[in-house]
Amino acid sequence: SQKIEQNSEALNIQEGKTATLTCNYTNYSPAYLQWYRQDPGRGPVFLLLIRENEKEKRKERLKVTFDTTLKQSLFHITASQPADSATYLCAPYRGGGADGLTFGKGTHLIIQP
Amino acid sequence: ETGVTQSPTHLIKTRGQQVTLRCSSQSGHNTVSWYQQALGQGPQFIFQYYREEENGRGNFPPRFSGLQFPNYSSELNVNALELDDSALYLCASSLGGSGNYNEQFFGPGTRLTVL
């Protein structure tokens, strides 16, 4: 069955450093991969989408990579700030159908001042 | 601000009861998806409605049902509530159809507690 794994433990990063979050998937051949941010008690917020033919995508301080051979996506936040503290969810997506997204459990990121 | 709204914010029910949750999609979006999120888990896909028809469903029993209205708002109905149904229920709207990548715009959720 499809499986998505994200860092199970909370990730503590010092302010100003780069935070790197991992998303691994198995039994999947996604054409796209999406990343979301979720704050406590709120709905997820879409951040970035990367396609299988894109190795890297950037948006301001965010960078996402997508390695279909390793079946892995990395999500980087550079110059991290305490306001970046949240849970980050990845969602590999096959596309083209009526399937909703399948999310990983998420990584809880804590940026310490 | 995503524009997706949900009601109610919180709800407490007892086992065996029925519940209806409501969602208004973002302007211009024709697709609504519902997700269940248990504590410490990622959202789990329940079903999706596109132009008033259910066109995708996750691994949820038939007691989870829904509707989409002509204005693309939606309802989620859950019958015969069980304790394990306690969760945050999220509605997400998107622009369906070919050429779209299913980016989901989520509402704030409804927190359902079943006692």
Give chain B's mean pLDDT. 92
With a cut of 60, say whether residue B98 has pLDDT above it: no
Looking at residue A112, its pLDDT comes to: 96
Say if the Cβ atoms of B101 and A93 lie within 8 Å.
yes
Q: What is the four-CA torsion angle of A104, A36, A72, A25, rounded to 10 degrees?
A: 20
pLDDT score recorded for residue B99: 55
CA B113 to chain A, closest CA, distance in angstroms equals 14
Count CB atoms within 10 A of the CB of residue B43: 30
Mean pLDDT throughout A8-26? Answer: 94
Tens of pLDDT, residue by residue over A62-102, are 999 999 999 999 999 999 999 999 999 999 988 765 678 88
Distance CA B19, CA A38 (A): 25
Q: What is the pLDDT of residues B44-89, one digit of tens each?
A: 999 999 888 998 899 999 999 999 999 889 999 999 999 999 999 9
Q: Do A95 and B40 touch (CB under 8 A)?
A: no
How many CA atoms lie within 13 Å of A76's alpha carbon, on the beta-carbon side? 15
pLDDT of residue B105: 92
Of residues B90 and B97, more confidence is placed in B90
Dihedrals phi, psi of B111, to nearest 5 degrees:
-90, 115
User: Which amino acid is present at B70?
Assistant: P
User: B4-18 pLDDT, tens per residue?
Assistant: 999 999 999 999 999
3-state secondary structure B37-89: ECCCCCCEEEEEEECCEEEEECCCCCCEEEEECCCCCEEEEECCCCHHHCEEE
| DSSP element (H, E) containing A5 | strand A3-6
Give residue A97's pLDDT: 58
> Distance (Å, rounded) from C-alpha B52 to C-alpha B7?
20
Q: Say if residue B1's pLDDT is above 60.
A: no
Distance from CA of B49 to the nearest CA of A (A): 9
Least confident of A12-16, B35-39, B94-98: B94-98
CB pairs under 8 A between A and B: 71
* pLDDT value of position A62: 97
